[in-house]
Structure 1
């Protein structure tokens, strides 16, 4: 998990001067991790001066269950347009000794930069005093010698970017200076973006991968004008989906599992020259967790509980029937936490050929 030294985000502070002066050691959240992080290996990498094997493993979130491969975003779309996953958060970063080595090297490098003077130089000096000489920043008590006397009893926490957040300003908005948290303690309350089961649940939501939604049709891909087409989803291919996000470091282990349960199917015929059953196009889930009703011989003249009737031929082309499932999403996490998240949707298109020939399907 490399350190990004090129962007002015990360180790920012409560003052504009310090934010300007401390151009960052940003922790960028990595992609999904398939295997458990080897923290001992990460420590060896730190001491060796490289970060290829997980120097910043403490910030790594591991995803499991039904999640997108390679750490990409999943295919769920929130029905709440105002809800978004967290763009950044604060997470355990380094122990005191490792933090001292990393931070002091960074500050000294900045102080030795030509032209670093005035407000920026003064702010860097205050930052150095904050970690070395117990210099208090408003609301943030200082540390003596980077708190190395407590090494092993806690960790410094720092801002982590969500690499899947497209808005740069949001992604880089966790700009407080790294702060110390004792093992087993909760972060200070002023850090509202500190990692919690709720944040992990939202990240699991963001990475969740739902199954394709291909409904069974009768007739299948070729139907006739004015002939009701039955649509259904069997319980066997239509079940709950779960994704888990976990952060496990010595002294701080939390996780959250986000569960998506299908609740309805919406049919959009792909043309205005069609009728849906029911009229809203929203087919609700049955008591046995299926949707709709399979077509059976002799039902040709009946109205399907879930389906479509096309009123005009598709000619030489096809109509794109869109079948979208709405999923009810909840989460549970460490310590018995849990709540609802906004419903999610995901759908697929199916090509439907509609012929002008009048027929009865018996």
Structure 2
């Protein structure tokens, strides 16, 4: 029986899970957030929360139009099946720093009361993996934590996405920390190792789009059966960019996600209404605007983008939903790039609709 099979037979799935959990303090458990950021400023998320410099390697820096304090942005993906990565592997510590932290944590756990049986055996396997060049499943072992290669690479470790609501998905990157030489790609079996396209998806997740408030004529208050014109000037909105980057010695990647407005959808807030065009989808014009501003002399024309209410709103208002569809693409390190699912974001606007009063003589 080879060493990998021997390891699997000694450490059952339960024991391995326990072993990974008890050494979790030796790796970045989640992408913690740093406070005090505002939209448009740099935001860092890291795998460590105690402020030590050794945690810097796991940080992702977000810049551009991003949500405050590392929270999720306001973009909704048009593809309900698309999700950003729930976790990833990223550069963590150099060999000497990793040895110092991991060996200390393993020693503390092995000496803890009641740490025996399969759990203790699994911890011993982890210790041998890093100290005695002992292979762990499909991963080659390391002699003395690779300290003879300190400065020539880093150990990579799992990082959880704090914006992923499913704890099982957040914890799905459960491999032991592994070594990557400077300038080299991670071993192919680590499909969740951080890549430009993953950074692009994370930038998408944190992107903050501008509010969508269309100009109406008549504004806010209209009449039953009176066409209401709707438009967005080019100056009101433009393309939006968000960037995610990791920059550490021997490893520097980034990706910029760009959102460009392509269409406006109007939803009147009642079934007693018509939209122009009938689909409610107003396309973007050649000059980058959407719709057409109302002006004198257009009262008898059908607006290219607008709506008509067929019933009074009474003592209340209708909630007009104006949603912009954004075409989203990305570019990244090494000439990488591609498309991401379209995004949407919209606002509600209160519209009062009154009956037209007439006088009979």
TM-score relative to the length of structure 1 = 0.90
Q: Does 1:20 align with 2:22?
A: no
| 1:157 match | 156
| 2:353 match | 354
Q: Does 1:91 align with 2:93?
A: no
SS at match of 1:303: coil
| 1:253 match | 252
Query: In the superposition, relative to structure 1, how do residues 232 and 250 fare at CA in structure 2: closer, same or farther (>3 Å)?
Result: same
Shift of 1:54: 4.2
SS at match of 1:352: strand
CA RMSD in angstroms comes to: 2.0
| 2:270 match | 271
Query: In the superposition, relative to structure 1, how do residues 35 and 234 fare at CA in structure 2: closer, same or farther (>3 Å)?
Result: closer
Greater than 3 Å deviation, 4+ residue runs: 13-16, 32-37
TM-score relative to the length of structure 2 = 0.90
Report the Cα distance in structure 2 between the residues aligned to 1:286 and 1:128, rounded to whole angstroms.
64
SS at match of 1:259: strand
Is the contact between residue 43 and residue 63 of structure 2 (CA under 8 Å) also seen in structure 1? no
Q: Which structure 2 residues correspond to residues 263-302 of structure 1 after superposition, within 5 A?
A: 263-302=262-301
Report the Cα distance in structure 2 between the residues aligned to 1:146 and 1:294, rounded to whole angstroms.
68
Shift of 1:18: 2.3
Query: In the superposition, relative to structure 1, how do residues 16 and 140 fare at CA in structure 2: closer, same or farther (>3 Å)?
Result: farther
Is the contact between residue 225 and residue 358 of structure 1 (CA under 8 Å) also seen in structure 2? no
Report the Cα distance in structure 2 between the residues aligned to 1:249 and 1:222, rounded to whole angstroms.
56
Which one is further off, 279-288 or 50-59?
50-59
| 1:309 match | 308
| 1:109 match | 108
Q: What runs of 5+ residues in structure 2 fail to find an aligned partner?
A: 1-10
- Once the two structures are superposed, what CA deviation does each residue of 1:88-108 show, in whole Å capped at 9, x if it has no partner? 000000000000011111111
| 1:42 match | none
Report the Cα distance in structure 1 between the residues aligned to 2:136 and 2:244, rounded to whole angstroms.
34
Q: Does 1:30 align with 2:32?
A: yes
| 1:6 match | none
Query: In the superposition, relative to structure 1, how do residues 14 and 345 fare at CA in structure 2: closer, same or farther (>3 Å)?
Result: farther
| 2:199 match | 200
Report the Cα distance in structure 2 between the residues aligned to 1:228 and 1:330, rounded to whole angstroms.
36
Report the Cα distance in structure 2 between the residues aligned to 1:53 and 1:125, rounded to whole angstroms.
28
SS at match of 1:126: helix
Q: Which structure 2 residues correspond to residues 48-87 of structure 1 after superposition, within 5 A?
A: 51-87=50-86
Q: Which structure 2 residues correspond to residues 139-178 of structure 1 after superposition, within 5 A?
A: 139-178=138-177
Report the Cα distance in structure 2 between the residues aligned to 1:36 and 1:278, rounded to whole angstroms.
41
Tell me the number of residue pairs that the alignment of Structure 1 and Structure 2 aligns.
Answer: 338
- Once the two structures are superposed, what CA deviation does each residue of 1:14-67 show, in whole Å capped at 9, x if it has no partner? 955322223212411133675698xxxxxxxx9xxx932443111110000000
Shift of 1:172: 1.0
- Once the two structures are superposed, what CA deviation does each residue of 1:197-224 show, in whole Å capped at 9, x if it has no partner? 0000000000000000000000000100
| 2:319 match | 320
Report the Cα distance in structure 1 between the residues aligned to 2:20 and 2:208, rounded to whole angstroms.
38
Is the contact between residue 54 and residue 97 of structure 2 (CA under 8 Å) also seen in structure 1? no
SS at match of 1:22: helix
Report the Cα distance in structure 1 between the residues aligned to 2:149 and 2:140, rounded to whole angstroms.
15
Is the contact between residue 18 and residue 119 of structure 2 (CA under 8 Å) also seen in structure 1? yes
Is the contact between residue 264 and residue 282 of structure 1 (CA under 8 Å) also seen in structure 2? yes
Shift of 1:290: 0.6
- Once the two structures are superposed, what CA deviation does each residue of 1:143-185 show, in whole Å capped at 9, x if it has no partner? 0000000000000000001011111111111100000000000
SS at match of 1:55: helix
Is the contact between residue 218 and residue 295 of structure 1 (CA under 8 Å) also seen in structure 2? yes
SS at match of 1:56: helix
Shift of 1:352: 0.3
